[in-house]
Amino acid sequence: MINGSILKTKIFNITLICAFFLALGAFPTKALSQENKPEGGEKKFNPQEIIMEHIADKHEWHMYGKSYLPLPIILYTDKGLETFSSAHLQPQGTVYAGKYYSYMLVNNKIKVADVNGKIDEANNKKVLDFSITQNVASMWMTGIILILVFFSMSSAYRKRPGKGPKGIQSWMEPLVLFIRDDVALPNIGVKYKAYMPLLLTIFFFILINNIFGMIPVFPGAFNLTGNIAVTLVLSVIVLLVVNLKANKYYWKHIFVPNPWWLFPIMIPVEIVSIFSKPIALMIRLFANITAGHIIVLSLISLIYIFGTQWAAVVSVPFTVFIDCIEVLVAFLQAYIFTMLTSLFIGMAIQEHHDHEVI
């Protein structure tokens, strides 16, 4: 009992989680610290600015209070690669002289500027921003978490072959089985096995980023799956997989519609549909997650708009309510994205396509 009692201690017990969040509450929050001390007297509270700043990507990762985690900036310029820490660009408006150009942050975007802070639009186009932004860093963090969780899960299967799930296995196995039995198998059919890695990775990638985005404090509070670039990449991958794996029935359906006189209408429509399906995926995920973040932040902003802490009586319960819905949405959107992906794959690789005979 004494041996391994440390190993048996449940780290994630509810008391510790509550204690963690309560301890974090001891630090002043970002919104409070910014808005209570506006530079130069009374600055009007602008909820749109705050919300858009949160929704967008940033070049530093807010930890607590006034502490920010600086992130590396990588710029691909016409003269060469340039790297430096984002700490040099803080506070916003500071001009940093790099190797080839000098830069400053405008609305969390890197702009080429001269020493006086005047933006140089001509040179701006020559600089591509490949920085490790907050979203990239958080994506790596969640990626590492996924790797740790699922590697330990797979090693658990290796260590206890043929046994029932235990520990992390019993948390994750139902989700894996759910994706296999209720998402992949009914939509794709017998060939589902080849697509399982893609579907599982998409599902858990979206899920963990949705969930971490909802955590209002340091390791979370990002908006990765609500960023159009991320959903774009995911849906492009889906587009490629669906169309590269498609069989002749799929292409026949697109290019040889039935009857022949529908050719001029149906071929463009079908070609549009090839792209409209992934675009719908991209926009659905992006809009849902972003909207959730906007609602939560708007409700919190109510306190500052009314300028009284009594507004919290209304806004906090509503925020909790919306947070609960957002947890549901986090699962739902991950599920819908995965489900539609497997549906599109299933449609593309279906063997006997039923042609509608008019």
Partner 1 sequence: MELVTPEVGLVFWTLISFLILLFLLGKFAWKPILAAINEREQSIETALSRAEAVKEEMARLTGENEALLKSARAERDAILSEATKVKNQIISDAKDAAQKEGSRQIELARIEINNQKAIAMADVKNQVASLSLEIAEKVLRKQFEDQKKQDELVKDLLRDVKLS
Provide the binding-site residues for partner 1, judged by CB under 8 A: 52, 55-57, 74, 107, 128-133, 135-136, 139-140, 143, 146-147, 150-151, 153-154, 157-158, 161-163, 173, 176-177, 180, 193, 196-198, 200-201, 204-205, 227-230, 232-234, 237, 286, 290
Note whether 123 and 108 are within 8 A (CB). Answer: no
Whole-angstrom Cα distance, residue 91 to residue 76?
A: 23
User: To the nearest whole angstrom, how small is the minimum distance from the Cβ of residue 276 to partner 1?
Assistant: 16
Whole-angstrom Cα distance, residue 14 to residue 10?
A: 10
Note whether 57 and 227 are within 8 A (CB). Answer: yes
In 3-state terms, what secondary structure has residue 157? helix
Nearer to partner 1, 17 or 236 (CB): 236
User: To the nearest whole angstrom, how small is the minimum distance from the Cβ of residue 269 to partner 1?
Assistant: 25
Peptide bond just before 219 cis, omega within 30 deg:
no
User: To the nearest whole angstrom, how small is the minimum distance from the Cβ of residue 17 to partner 1?
Assistant: 26
Whole-angstrom Cα distance, residue 328 to residue 207?
A: 11
Amino acid letter for position 223? N
Find tokens 């299933």 and name the residue.
346
In 3-state terms, what secondary structure has residue 218? coil
User: To the nearest whole angstrom, how small is the minimum distance from the Cβ of residue 27 to partner 1?
Assistant: 28
Rg (CA), the chain: 25
Whole-angstrom Cα distance, residue 220 to residue 228?
A: 18
User: To the nearest whole angstrom, how small is the minimum distance from the Cβ of residue 115 to partner 1?
Assistant: 25
User: To the nearest whole angstrom, how small is the minimum distance from the Cβ of residue 172 to partner 1?
Assistant: 8
